[in-house]
Structure 1
């Protein structure tokens, strides 16, 4: 099998894994979580996206938003400080790259996934994001 084809298949498999993780919802599913109407939520969520306070991935022609980006105890507003993490990651990653990063074990976080630590220790997640985009530095 061609290595380019194999790499594409692995990426597609990873995307399916991310989408099926339960951490990603469509705007319609987000409406159910927030108890808002589509007309109320849709402009708000896309405004947050434009402002860089959240991010979304596209799959099969549908936008998916990360549930871990929203504070379920704060009227489903974006997790405070998430924008700073997104700004750091966006220097090197597209939305899918961010999705993979948030959902992967991270040695900087002691093997935890950034999405697991985001609400409890934003500072260390921000440090891990900086470490991710800087890569290995030799002195």
Structure 2
């Protein structure tokens, strides 16, 4: 608990103490400090609240869960900076960072932002085509557009998926992109009752 409090305070989030002395954090401050986007906080359409905006504060438990999830994703070792990608792909000094940033702007790849640095998913780069974004990734990102922010996409790729037989999407993206795209479509469709 103390680690979470320190982490949130390091992000500039000030705790609010509830009636019973429980530490709570203003949800808007935590969302802003964790770079969660408007869609994540307010629903995809921007006018209907979802479970994140239905309560005005994050409890210590919720803050701990968010911090733990992000730490797990980042510590997986599956993330590269723009400069690391440029070196791996052999880009010249004149355009060292331009290609990865163009891929991001063209929605061919996504990044997660942590402490002011954008990190690209290593598992989304195909070495057989010069460390370029995997062929199926843009389609997955299109499916999630407006439904998940970059961290939500990172969590989805890192999680085991029943649609994929208990495998993680990031482990199948390069070899079986069609299955990963179908799993993303299943994710946004959800359970259909008949």
Q: Which residue of 2 aligns with 1:74?
A: 129
- Specify whether residues 41 and 123 from structure 1 end up closer, same or farther in structure 2 by C-alpha distance, changes over 3 A only: same
Mapped contact 2:85–2:100 kept (Cα < 8 A) = no
Which ranges in structure 2 are unaligned for 5 or more consecutive residues? 1-21, 24-57
Which ranges in structure 1 are unaligned for 5 or more consecutive residues? none
- Specify whether residues 113 and 35 from structure 1 end up closer, same or farther in structure 2 by C-alpha distance, changes over 3 A only: same
- TM-score of the pair, normalised by structure 1: 0.92
The count of corresponding residues between Structure 1 and Structure 2 is: 139
- Specify whether residues 38 and 130 from structure 1 end up closer, same or farther in structure 2 by C-alpha distance, changes over 3 A only: farther
Higher Rg: 2
Matched, 1:63 2:118: yes
Give the root-mean-square deviation of aligned CA atoms. Answer: 1.5
Written as runs of structure 1 = structure 2, the 5 A alignment for 1:37-116 is: 37=92, 39-116=94-171
Which protein has greater RCO, CA pairs closer than 8 Å, 6+ apart? 1
Which 4+ stretches in 1 moved above 3 angstroms? none
Q: Which residue of 2 aligns with 1:120?
A: 175
- TM-score of the pair, normalised by structure 2: 0.67
In terms of fraction of residues, the more helix-rich structure is: 1
